[in-house]
Structure 1
Amino acid sequence: MAKVDFYLLTSRQPQIRERFACKLTEKAYRLGHRIYIQVEDQEQAQKMDDLLWTFRQGSFVPHALMNTEEASETPVLIGYGGEPESEMDLLINLCAEVPRFFSHFPRVAEIIDQDENNRHAGRQRYRDYRDQGCSLETHELSI
């Protein structure tokens, strides 16, 4: 069963969830992992695509949107509405609900910021993962 890490962010900075997702993606990529970032829709996918190029000066995280020509050759995919066709090591979930395919990943990352709606949805996802028998760990981060 998947190991799920909940990252609780205390900062109220704009786009803090997405920026932390970029940092986490970069770290996992440098460790040789393949990462899938699950987002809500095309608009959020495009924002994450842009942010991965610009979140930190000097960073390089090769990535592609799912269902594009580059997707099969890229270690980081951004998608919505479905799961990646290739095997991935880490699922970073930026959606309000638990992806139905989460159990296909050995690791899942959930990022919770100070937005009340996100915190409420995060609590529900925590219960859902717990009910599925996942190993859960919480990390409170002051960033």
Structure 2
Amino acid sequence: MPRIEFYVLSSSDAQGRLRAACQLALKAWNAGMPVFVRGSDEAQCDELDEMLWQFKAERFVPHDLHRDAPLSPVVVGIDEVPSTEQGVLINLGSSLSPNVERFARVIEIVNQQPELLNACRENFRSYRQRGYDPKRVEL
């Protein structure tokens, strides 16, 4: 059963949410875990792809869009089935991933945008209803 964590940001800045996803992807990859970053749509996936290229000038984060290279250490996609199991899912979508069980750890990144807060509260309840024990982490 995956470990579920909600990382809560204090601002409503959408870019801050993407930066947090990049930082968490780098950290998980450095720990040797495969990473799947789930975007909310193709535009956000493209934005994440670009941000990961520029994220750390002194550090390369090996990543690709799922459609281009699904076996990369860090993969950006939407609801594609991950090519490796037991990695980390960083969920930027507003709903639960249909592939939650394939991961060892799921991170939901929450900011203070009202619509996102409501969606994440619903996700938190859904995880509990499915038998998970989600945790809240303040950033």
Q: Do they fold alike, i.e. is TM over 0.5?
A: yes
Partner of 2:100: 102
- Show the 5 A alignment for 1:1-143: 1-68=1-68, 70-72=69-71, 74-141=72-139
RMSD over aligned CA atoms reads 1.3
Q: TM-score, normalised by structure 2?
A: 0.93
Question: Percent of aligned positions with the same letter in both sequences?
Answer: 35
Using the TM superposition, give the Cα deviation of residue 80 of structure 1 relative to its aligned residue in structure 2, in angstroms.
Answer: 1.3
Greater Cα shift, 27-36 or 38-47:
38-47
Dislocated runs of 4+, deviation >4 Å: none
Report SS of the residue matched to 1:36.
Answer: strand
In the alignment, is the contact (CA less than 8 A) between 1:53 and 1:59 conserved in 2?
no
Q: What is the CA deviation profile of residues 12-46 of structure 1, one whole-angstrom value per residue up to 9, with x for unaligned ones?
A: 44411110000000011111110001112211110
Relative to the length of structure 1, the TM-score reads 0.91
User: In the alignment, residue 33 of structure 1 is paired with which amino acid?
Assistant: M
In structure 2, stretches of 5+ residues that fail to align are: none
Counterpart Cα distance in 2 of 1:85 and 1:92: 15
Q: What 5-or-longer segments of structure 1 have no aligned partner?
A: none
User: 2:134 aligns to what SS in structure 1?
Assistant: strand
Moved more, 13-22 or 27-36: 13-22
